[in-house]
Amino acid sequence: MHILIGNPIDPSIRARTDMRAWTQRLAWFARLGDVLILCTEPDPAFLDHACTLTGTGPGEVTVLTTPPGRHGGMLLDPEALTDPDVFAQVRAALRPVGGPQAVGEIHALWPSASVARFAAA
């Protein structure tokens, strides 16, 4: 049984300029072999806690960070998703599992043209 809530972005979040902690919630959805792309390194204790509770052990998720961009690392700069260094990191993370063909789905917190460009590349 699941409870799934399709709520829009909360107004209290919309007004924030530093979303680092909020975006780390993706750790709750990460499973063995997944790649998380974040604007900054997640809190190690939180990542360990979330992965342990979901049955994904420490070190079984690859965390990649984007360049700080125009938001100074407090938000993921959409342009960072097409940064050549980010592509190189993603390719390196995917190499051991079969390369880009191993990716079944790409999920983002919100729809974005930058995510579509990343997926196409």
**What residue ranges do the domains of the chain occupy?**
19-120
Own/partner pairs, 84-91, CB within 8 angstroms, 24+ separation: 86/37, 87/121, 89/64, 90/35, 90/37, 90/64
**pLDDT one digit per residue (tens) for the chain, 121 residues:** 445 555 556 666 666 677 777 778 888 888 888 999 998 899 999 999 999 999 998 789 999 999 988 888 888 888 888 899 998 999 999 888 888 888 888 888 877 888 888 888 8
| Tokens found for residue 81 | 């998703």
DSSP code of residue 62: E
- Which residues does residue 37 pair with via DSSP β-bridges, in sequence order? 64
